[in-house]
Amino acid sequence: MNRGDYLRQHIESIDGPLGETPKHVKMTTSPFVFYRGTAQLFYADMASGVLRMPKAMEALPLVCVMGDCHASNFGFLTEEGSHGDNVIFAPNDFDDACVGHAAWDIMRFLVSLALTADHCEGVQSGRYPSDVVRHDKPAIARRDVEIAMAQFLEAYTALCARVIQSPSVIYEAIEQIPTGKLKKRYEKACRRAACGEDFTSKSALAKAVKMKGDRLCFNHQPDKFIPLDASHYQQLETTFAPYMDEAIVDIVARANAGTGSVNMGRYYFLVGPAYPHDETSFARCHIVEVKQQRKAAPLHYFPGLCPVNSLNAAHLTARCQRKIQRRPDLLLDEVEWRDAHWLIRSRHHAKVGIDPEDIGIGNKAVNGSFSEFASYCGKALALAHCRADRRSTVFEQQTVAKLCEHNQTLQETALAYYRQVLADYQLFRDMQQHN
C-alpha cells in the first residue's frame, strides 16, 4: 500500500471520509495542526514499524498516558475543575488517555516541538495562516528545537530522580511561573479564576453567559453555541441532572471545539442556583461539559496492552484523569446515553491554553523561553506518569536509567518522524484538494 492510501485508511477509520468537514479543514492549516488531528496515525506508524522506539523504553512499567501528548495539550488550569481556584501548569487534554507506555507521550511531545518551530516559521513567512503574525519578531529555529528537546528530557528525568529520593514529590504541581513567555499566560489564568479580578469579565463563564432579565443563560454565539429544541433539552436535563451539583440553568450544544475531537457530540450545561438570578447567582455558577467519547487513539493499534483499557471510553478517560492529576475535577463522571459513552467534567473558569505562536515567536522565545517551556512540560508530564504507581518507585528507577541511555536516540527518532509528518501533511492537502 502506498503512503497516500495508508493515510486515507487510518484517517478515515476514525473520522469518516475525507472532505470538507470542520476537522479536516482545520487539519490543512499546518503540519502541527495536522499532527494534532491525527493521533491515530502516530500509533499506526508505531505498530507498523514506521516509527521505531528503543526496545528498552517499551520495557518500562506501564503508566496512565495522555495519549495525544503535544505542545498545545499543556496549559494553565484550576485544580478541581471549576470548584478550585489554585492555578497550575499541567496536561489539559485526556480524550486519548489510557494505560500505555510513557515513551509514547515522550516521543509524541518531542515531535511536536519540531512541528512548533515549523509552524511558527511558516506563520511568519506566510506559508501557514494565523491570526497572530508579527513579521518584526523572530521565530525559533532548528537549534532552538534541539535545545528544547534536551531540556524536556532532562526535566523529565530529574523529576523521576527526585521521586526516587522522596516519593511525596508526586503530590507537587507547577504553581508558579516567575519568568519567560509563560509568565503572562499564568497571570492571565490567575486573574480569571473565581477569586481573580477578571472573573466576572474574562473567565470562561463570563464569556459564555449573560443575564437576560432575571435569568442567566448562554450567549447567542451561533459559531459556538447551538440552541436545542424543547424535546432535546428535556432529554438532556432528565438524563444528566443527577450528575450535577446544583440546578441546571441552561443547556446548549457546543460546536467547533477542539481539533482531534471536533466532530464528536458535545453539550454545555450552565449549573448554579435555581431561577431567579442576580449577580450573586452568577458568581456561584459554572459550566459542565458533557462530551461524547470514543476509543483512545492508541487502543486501535495496541488493544491488549492492559485489562484496564477494556473499560468503556468515557470510564477510561475519567479513570486516567483521576490518576494523572493531583486534584482532579470534582464533577468527573461518565454516562451511557443514546448508545454512546459520555464524559462529564466541569469547564475551568481560568483555563488558558498554549498555541505554537505563544511559545515560538518573539525575542524571549529565541532567547531561552521555548526551552524553558519544554522544561516545564517535562516536569509536568513526569509528575503525571509517576502518579500511576503511588506504592513504589519502580517506574522512576527504571526510567532514569533508560532515558539517560537513550536520550540521543529519542531526539534523533523524533526529528526523523517530524520529517515524515511534513511529508504526510503535503499528501493530506493534495488528497483534500482532489476530493
pLDDT at position 133: 67
Q: Where are the domains of the chain?
A: 3-191+352-433, 200-346
Contacts within 8 Å (CB) and 24+ apart, 424-428? 424/3, 424/7, 424/31, 424/34, 424/38, 424/41, 425/30, 425/31, 425/34, 425/35, 427/3, 427/4, 427/7, 428/7, 428/11, 428/27, 428/28, 428/34
Q: Hunting for cell 500500500 — which residue is that? A: 1
pLDDT at position 308: 98
pLDDT at position 420: 98
* Residue 84: CB atoms within 10 Å: 20
**pLDDT per residue as tens digits for the range 306-336:** 999 999 999 999 999 999 999 999 999 999 9
**pLDDT per residue as tens digits for the range 138-168:** 999 999 999 999 999 999 999 999 999 999 9
Higher pLDDT, 164 or 223: 164
The residue count of the chain comes to: 435
Rg of the chain (C-alpha set) = 21
Higher pLDDT, 28 or 275: 28
Judged against a pLDDT cut of 80, whether residue 135 lies above it is answered with: no
Tell me which residue of 348, 321, 324, 355 sits closest to 72, measured CA to CA: 355
Judged against a pLDDT cut of 90, whether residue 253 lies above it is answered with: yes
Q: Rounded CA gap, 348 and 351, in Å? A: 5
pLDDT at position 205: 93
Q: Rounded CA gap, 393 and 166, in Å? A: 9
Q: Rounded CA gap, 358 and 145, in Å? A: 15
Q: Chain-wide mean pLDDT for the chain? A: 94
Q: Is 339 exposed, middle or buried (0-12, 13-18, 19+ CB in 10 A)?
A: exposed
Contact (Cβ atoms closer than 8 angstroms) between residue 200 and residue 282: yes
Q: Cα 117 to the chain's mean position, in Å?
A: 19
| Residue 335 DSSP class | E
Contact (Cβ atoms closer than 8 angstroms) between residue 91 and residue 324: yes
pTM of the predicted structure, to 2 decimals:
0.95
pLDDT at position 64: 98
**pLDDT per residue as tens digits for the range 269-290:** 999 998 888 888 898 999 999 9
Contact (Cβ atoms closer than 8 angstroms) between residue 102 and residue 69: no
